[in-house]
Amino acid sequence: MTSPLTPQDPAPLGAGPAARRHPWRPLALAALLLLGGAAALIARRADAVAPAASAELNLPVLRLVGLSQAPTTQTVLLPGSVRAAQDTPIYARTSGYLRRWLVDIGTPVKAGQLLAEIETPEVDESLHQAEAALARAQADAELAHVTAARWQELATTRAVARQDVDQKAADAHAKQALLEGAQADVARLRELESFKRVTAPFAGVITARRVDVGALVSAGSAGGVTELFHLSQNRELRVTTDVPQAYAALATVGQAARVDLGDGGGQPLVAHISRRAEAIDPLTRTLHVELDVANAGNRLLPGASAQVSFAFADPAPHPVLPVNALLFRPAGTEVAVVGADGRARLVPVTLGRNDGRQVQVLRGLSGSERVALDPPDSLASGDRVRVAAGDVPVKEH
């Protein structure tokens, strides 16, 4: 049987002097337990928040831009070419050998001026033969007519048969036809003889000489035939260019333009559209136009390149967007409009003029929207996005 403790019995465990010296140990143990519980709670909350934060970081970051009103004047710079008002190659119209040439490149000539002479021995011989045949045919025709007249007189006295009289008359008509054929042959060869003289069809400047004395030249301009000269009329020149289809309605006859030759020779020239093709080229989708330019001081040279600048007045300007805001989908062209809730909405739009940097928006937007730049192809309506700090303004022309 256990007896109760007495003052002389040993003290219980922990109740000794050491326990009385460190009374904070129980408090430290409790604090450690509290800290462990708090750490576990924080870890559980962090595990719950991490997926949401990761999803937020994975959202596409988009820059936004607003629509801007296009200027009422559209400046369009186009490449052009300078052409002579009249420009033609000059070919020989008869075959032979070049006897001499009288003009060289850079020589100004008048209409009808002699440029070269051609020796045509074969044509000369053919003409001599034709003239001899003409003389023979003329003599035969005269004899036939005299004979027919005599037989007609004899017929009145019934000295010859009527059949013979008709035969002589028919022979006279046949000889007359041969005479006319010989006359036509001589006229043709004489015309060829006149082609020995090569003359200028209009006043201008010789821009090329292709042959030398003694060269064999052939008539015509078929393949393989060498031209003798090239003639250009340089007093008035034409500047040609092709206007994109989007501006075709604005490129009317009389529209002013600035023509810059890029030669450092002075101020750009002012010209006006004189002619337009009135049809869009189906291959290039452009309208061909021509501008007449007076060539004072021969500053312009045919064949040169030029820069043609038009300032088209747009009577009904539309808002514009950068081209990198467009999404091309099978259903059509769309833009991504980002609302205040941070969600994208794809809106179909109808586009107008496109200068390569900005494009007109004809329909689909009211003008107050903020549109995403460079939206990803995977973007769909309703997707959440992150908006980059600051908006990108649309730059005016």
Q: What is the DSSP letter of 343?
A: B
pLDDT at 352: 82
The separation between CA 357 and the C-alpha centre of its own chain, rounded to angstroms, equals 18
In a domain, residue 100? The reply is yes
Q: What's phi and psi for 269, nearest 5 deg?
A: -85, 150
Residues 6 or more apart whose CB falls under 8 angstroms from that of 110 comprise: 200, 203
Half-sphere exposure of 131 (CA within 13 A, CB side): 8
Q: How far apart, in whole angstroms, are the C-alpha atoms of residue 161 and residue 151? A: 9
> pTM for this structure?
0.62
In a domain, residue 274? The reply is yes
Task: Let me know: does 160 contact 151? Beta carbons within 8 Å.
Answer: yes
In a domain, residue 121? The reply is yes
In a domain, residue 44? The reply is no
> Token digits for 5?
């403790």
pLDDT at 54: 58
- Tell me, what CATH number does 350's domain have? 2.40.420.20
pLDDT at 393: 39
Per-residue pLDDT of the chain (397 residues; tens, 9 = 90+): 444 444 444 444 444 554 455 566 666 767 777 777 776 666 666 554 445 455 566 778 888 888 887 777 888 999 999 999 899 999 999 889 999 999 999 999 999 999 999 998 888 899 999 999 999 999 999 999 988 888 888 878 777 788 888 888 898 899 999 999 999 999 999 988 889 999 999 999 999 999 999 999 988 877 778 899 999 998 889 999 999 998 898 999 999 999 998 766 667 889 999 999 999 999 999 999 999 998 877 778 899 999 999 998 877 778 888 999 899 988 899 999 998 888 899 999 998 888 778 888 888 888 888 898 999 988 888 888 888 865 543 443 4
Residues 341 and 370 in one domain: yes
Residues 6 or more apart whose CB falls under 8 angstroms from that of 6 comprise: none
In a domain, residue 228? The reply is no
* Residue ranges making up the domain that contains 366: 61-71+317-387
Residues 250 and 293 in one domain: yes
Residues 142 and 193 in one domain: yes
Q: Tally the domains of the chain.
A: 3
In a domain, residue 276? The reply is yes
Residues 192 and 248 in one domain: no
Given 285, 313, 341, the domain boundary residue is 313
pLDDT at 208: 94
Task: Let me know: does 191 contact 221? Beta carbons within 8 Å.
Answer: no
Given 313, 333, 350, the domain boundary residue is 313
pLDDT at 358: 84
Residues 93 and 182 in one domain: yes
